[in-house]
Amino acid sequence: MFNLESFDIKLNTEFVGRNFVYSDEIDSTNSFLLNKENKFNTDGTVILAEKQNKGHGRKDRVWYSSKGQNLTFSILLTSKKIYSKKFNHINFAASLSVAMAIENLFQLKTELKWPNDILINGKKIAGILLESISKGSKIDRLIIGIGINVNQAVFQGVFNIPPTSLKIELNENIDREKLLAEFLNTFEEMLEKVKTNPEEILKDWKSRCRLIGEKIVIEGGEKTKYGIFDDLDDDGFLLLNVGGKIEKIHFGEVSVA
């Protein structure tokens, strides 16, 4: 069971995770926070669930996570804390914070895959799903949903990238409370950077992305595209060099060509 006291001692944030909801079982932590009716409207609210019955990822994929072994949680940001048109940066801030928390606590090398996967040795250790609700042209609630594979030793399901966990990589049980606190502490700092120094977020993200400069294939859009991963633009979109012409890619699944 998740030890709230030991988590709380390690949490250093001002607002992220200060309002903390712990759930034994829920459909999806993202869906819960997206729904305004739940009355949790404080910026930085975090809900952690031991089990999700409808945990989902990008492209409506199922997010498989055994009860009580991993970290499946979501963070709420309301319009006060959402800096205009910086969704990709917030997404990267979250991936970077997962990578940095893992590197700092366990000295494991992580790799980031556009737009929001975190890998260790080519296998997926964590995924991030941003979902939002708009009011008119403005985003009212932004939910950052994160699944980190921590103590699960065996995975069953259908995966686009083979999964791994910290337990598999390190051969030991991991303190989930310490990892969640480290992540939230880092993420709050990163959120500040999204406002004050967004270029640095992109630079740090790119330094952990192995595919920049490589031949890649992008699937999932109208048509499959092949080219060289040239760079990210200032908004975090992927720039693909297709026969010398640069195309901006807004979404899709990237893999080595």
In the DSSP assignment, the letter for residue 64 is -
Question: Any alpha helices (H) in 73-114, and if so which ranges?
Answer: 87-106
Which amino acid would we find at residue 157?
A: G
For residue 227, state whether it binds ligand BTN (rule: CB under 6 A). Answer: no
Burial class (CB in 10 A: 0-12, 13-18, 19+), 61: middle
Burial class of residue 127, CB neighbours in 10 A (0-12, 13-18, 19+): buried
Q: Which is nearer to ligand BTN, 157 or 213 (CB)?
A: 157
Answer yes or no: are the C-beta atoms of 247 and 138 closer than 8 Å. no
Position 44 contacts ligand BTN (CB under 6 A): no
Interface with ligand BTN, residue 52, by CB under 6 A? yes
For residues 89-106, b (16+ Cβ closer than 10 Å) or e, as one string?
bbbbbbbbbbbbbbeeee
Tokens of 75: 């963070």
- CB of 97: closest distance to ligand BTN in angstroms? 15
Comparing CB distances to ligand BTN, the nearer of 148 and 202 is: 148
Nearer to ligand BTN, 127 or 227 (CB): 127
Tell the residue number behind the tokens 């195309």, with chain if given.
247
Taking the complex as a whole, the smallest distance from the CB of residue 29 to ligand BTN amounts, in Å, to: 4
Whether residue 42 contacts residue 49, with contact meaning beta carbons closer than 8 Å, is answered with: no
Closer to ligand BTN by Cβ: residue 98 or 228: 98
Q: Which is nearer to ligand BTN, 146 or 181 (CB)?
A: 146
User: Quick check: 252 binds ligand BTN (CB under 6 A)?
Assistant: no
Distance CA 117, CA 220 (A): 16
Shortest spacing between CB 127 and ligand BTN, in angstroms: 2
Q: Which of residues 128-167 bind ligand BTN (CB under 6 A)?
A: 128-129, 145-147
Which CB sits closer to ligand BTN, 52 or 110? 52
3-state secondary structure (DSSP) of residue 184: helix
Calculate ∠ Cα 204-148-160, nearest 5°.
90
- CB atoms under 10 Å from CB of 219, counted, come to 12
Contacting residue, 11, 29, 96, 113, with ligand BTN by CB under 6 A: 29
Total chain residues near ligand BTN (CB under 6 A):
20
Task: With H, G, I as helix, E, B as strand and everything else as coil, classify residue 13.
Answer: coil
What track of x and - describes contact with ligand BTN for positions 110 through 129 (by CB under 6 A)? -------x---------xxx
- Select the residue interacting with ligand BTN from 72, 151, 152, 164 (CB under 6 A): 72
Least CB distance to ligand BTN at residue 99 (A): 14
Q: Which residues bind ligand BTN (CB under 6 A)?
A: 28-30, 52, 55-58, 61, 63, 72-74, 117, 127-129, 145-147
